[in-house]
Amino acid sequence: MIRRAVVLLLWRTLALVCVALAIVGVVLPGLPTVPFLLVAAWAGGHGWPALEARVLAHARYGPIVRQWRERGSVPRRAKWAASVMMVLSAGVMWFTGTPRWVIAVVCSIMLGVAIWLWRRPES
């Protein structure tokens, strides 16, 4: 009984932290909003169905979360935004004197993410 309560509390905490980060992401241009809402809805589905329903019913972000769940699709605008942010991040690393090996590793990871992202279906 106590174990179930702790697990429920952990799911709810994860959901709340992700909602808070998504709210910050609405204000800060470099912090994504939708990925945090995806995790919040997922965690809410495990421990807070009312929060999950609220995320899915949100007027602006709900359709994007539902499309991801149903088809794994990512809107083209989001793909472009993510790609531009990755290129800008690489530029910042280059011009701030980050060690070349770090740039190579991070850019390789970002390239892999970009390839995966652009292969996702579009809504």
Residue range 97-106, pLDDT digits in tens: 999 999 999 9
Q: Which of 46, 47, 49, 66 is nearest to 58 (CA)?
A: 66
Distance CA 36, CA 59 (A): 16
At 90, list the tokens.
């690489």
The whole-number pLDDT of residue 83 equals 94
Asked if 14 contacts 43 with a C-beta cutoff of 8 angstroms, the reply is yes
Residue range 48-96, pLDDT digits in tens: 999 999 999 999 999 999 999 999 999 999 899 899 999 999 999 999 9
**Residue 113: φ, ψ to 5°:** -65, -40
pTM: 0.79
Residues 6+ apart with CB under 8 A from 7: 47
Distance CA 107, CA 114 (A): 10
CA quadruple 62, 64, 33, 116: dihedral, nearest 10: 160
Q: What is the mean pLDDT of residues 19-25?
A: 94
Residue 41 — pLDDT band, cuts 50, 70, 90? very high
Average pLDDT, the chain: 93
Asked if 50 contacts 99 with a C-beta cutoff of 8 angstroms, the reply is no
